[in-house]
Amino acid sequence: MGRVRDVLPTAAIIASNVLLWARPLGRKAFMLLGTLAAVLVALACTRVPFDAHRWLGTRAGECSGPAEVIVVLGGSGMPSGPELVRLHRAAEAAAQWPSARVLVIHPGPPSTLGAMLAELELRGVAKDRLQQVNEGNNTREQALILHARLDHRSPIAVITSPENTFRTVLAFRKAGLPNTWGAPAWDHAMLHNFDYGHEAVGGKGWIPDISGSPGLRYTFWNYLKLEVVCLREYAAIAYYWLNGWV
C-alpha cells in the first residue's frame, strides 16, 4: 500500500510539471490558430479565394485544340453535384470534338460508373464513343492506368473539378502522357439580384437588415468554402510534388 501512496503524489508532480511546460505551447498554438482564422475571414472579404481557385483550374493550360480522347475523372457518388457538373462539361466537350473518344474512369461499384455513362448518353453522347475504366483510387494511379491504355501522343482533354485540374494535368504528363490539357468543369454563378424587403417578409426591427447585401449573405460564405477547398488542394499538390508525381 505504501508504494501505491508514493506513486500517486509522484504522478501528480509529473503531471503538474508537464502542464507547466505545455501551457506556453498551448497558448502559442491558440494564438496561431486565432491569427489563421482571422486571416481566412479577412481574405473571404476579398476576391483572393476566387483568383486562387481560378489559378488551379487554368494554370496548367486549357485544351483549345481538337482532343482525340476526353477523359472524365470520377470521384463522387451518382447523382451528386460535382459528378453531374463534370458530366455536363464532358457532354459539351464531346459535342465540341465529335470525333473524340470519351473515357470515364471511376473506382468502386460498377453501378456508379454505369450511371455516369447513362447520364452522358442522356446528354447526347453516342454509346459507341463511350469507354469505361473501373479502376484507379487516386489521380496518380489513374494516370498510370491510362498511360498503359492510351496512345502517348494523343491530345487528351481531362475533365475534373477546377481545383483538381492543375494537379491532374501535371500528374498525367509526369506519367508519360505529355499532350494532356485541362477542361475544368466550372460551376456557373446565378446572375440574379437577391435583394429582398426585410420588413416585407417579416424581419424583426432589432435584427440587422442585410436584405440588400447578397455579398455578405452568399459570397463571403462561398469564399470561405473556396479557401478550404484551395488549401486542401495545395496540400495535395505538395504531397504529389514530394513523391515526384508532378
Point out the domain boundary residue: 150, 182, 214: 182
C-beta separation of 150 from 156 below 8 A: yes
Q: Considering only CA atoms, which of 93, 97, 81 is closest in space to residue 120?
A: 93
Instruction: Name residue 238's amino acid.
Output: A
E strand or H helix at 26, and its extent? Answer: helix 2-43
Least confident of 13-22, 29-38, 177-186: 13-22
What distance in Å separates the CA atoms of residue 203 and residue 35, rounded to the nearest whole number? Answer: 34
Residues 138 and 222 in one domain: no
Mean pLDDT of the residues in the chain:
90
69 shares its domain with 160: yes
Q: Does residue 116 sit in the same domain as residue 211?
A: no
pLDDT reported for residue 1: 47
Query: Any idea what the CATH number is for the domain that residue 118 is in?
Result: 3.40.50.620
For residue range 153-162, list pLDDT tens digits in order: 999 999 999 9
Look at residue 214 and tell me if it is in a domain: yes
Angstrom CA distances, 110 to 12, 18, 78, stand at: 57, 53, 11
Q: What is the pLDDT of residue 12?
A: 64
Residues 177 and 201 in one domain: no
In this structure, the answer to whether residues 68 and 138 fall within a common structural domain is yes
Q: Which three cell numbers, joined as nine digits, stand for 153?
A: 501522343
- What interhelical angle do 220-243 and 162-174 show, nearest 10? 10
The more confident residue out of 15 and 34 is 34
User: Average pLDDT in the 20-45 region?
Assistant: 81
Instruction: Specify whether 168 is located in the same domain as 73.
Output: yes
pLDDT above 90 coverage of the chain, percent: 64
- Same domain assignment for residues 63 and 164: yes
In the chain, the number of structural domains is 2
| Residues 104 and 63 grouped into a single domain | yes
**Cβ-contact 143, 177 below 8 angstroms:** yes
The reported pTM is 0.85
Q: Are 172 and 83 part of one and the same domain?
A: yes
Label residue 65 by pLDDT band (50, 70, 90). confident
Q: Are residues 242 and 213 in the same domain?
A: yes
**Which residues, in sequence order, are CB contacts of 90 under 8 Å at separation 6+?**
70, 72, 102, 104, 120, 125, 159, 185
Q: pLDDT tens digits, residue range 81-97?
A: 889 999 999 999 999 99
pLDDT at res. 164: 96
Residues 217 and 117 occupy one common structural domain: no
With respect to residue 29, please indicate whether it lies within any of the assigned structural domains. no
Q: Is residue 239 one of the residues assigned to a domain?
A: yes
Residue 3 domain-assigned?
no
Structural domain containing residue 130: 59-182
